[in-house]
Amino acid sequence: MLVAFSVAPSGSNDANPDGSVHDAVAAAVRVVRESGLPHRTTSMFTEIEGETWDEVMDVVKRATEAVLPFGSRVSLVLKADIRPGYAGELDGKIERLERAIEDTAADQQ
């Protein structure tokens, strides 16, 4: 399964008066990286891939808990692609998309 999630603190935090959450996000991403699961972080989301709900959701839970010290509350956005029997989809989906784009471009010429 693939999970894309974004976790951020909200509420008062005098440490970052400009509203930046990079320190909190760094704490969450550190948890993901240490998990050993395949992952990718972009400017808006972190994606992780695992075989079971338990292993993936454990990482999401621990990443969320890592953000707790940075504010009085935490916001979590999560999207999951559950496709039993498939692995390597973190890259596989992108590779298929790129091939489709190339094929469409070739058909239009």
pLDDT band at residue 17 under the 50/70/90 scheme? low
Taking 90 as the threshold, does the pLDDT of residue 16 lie above it? no
pLDDT of the residue at 70: 92
pLDDT of the residue at 106: 85
Tell me the pLDDT tens digit for each residue of 22-31: 999 999 999 9
Q: How far apart are CA 27 and CA 34, in angstroms?
A: 11
Q: What is the mean pLDDT of residues 78-97?
A: 94
Q: What is the chain's mean pLDDT, rounded?
A: 92
pLDDT of the residue at 10: 87
Q: How far apart are CA 10 and CA 75, in angstroms?
A: 7
pLDDT of the residue at 86: 92
**What backbone phi and psi angles, to 5 degrees, belong to 105?**
-65, -40
List the CATH code of the domain at 2-107.
Answer: 3.30.70.930
Residue 89: name the closest of 27, 53, 28, 38 by CA: 38
pLDDT band at residue 15 under the 50/70/90 scheme? low
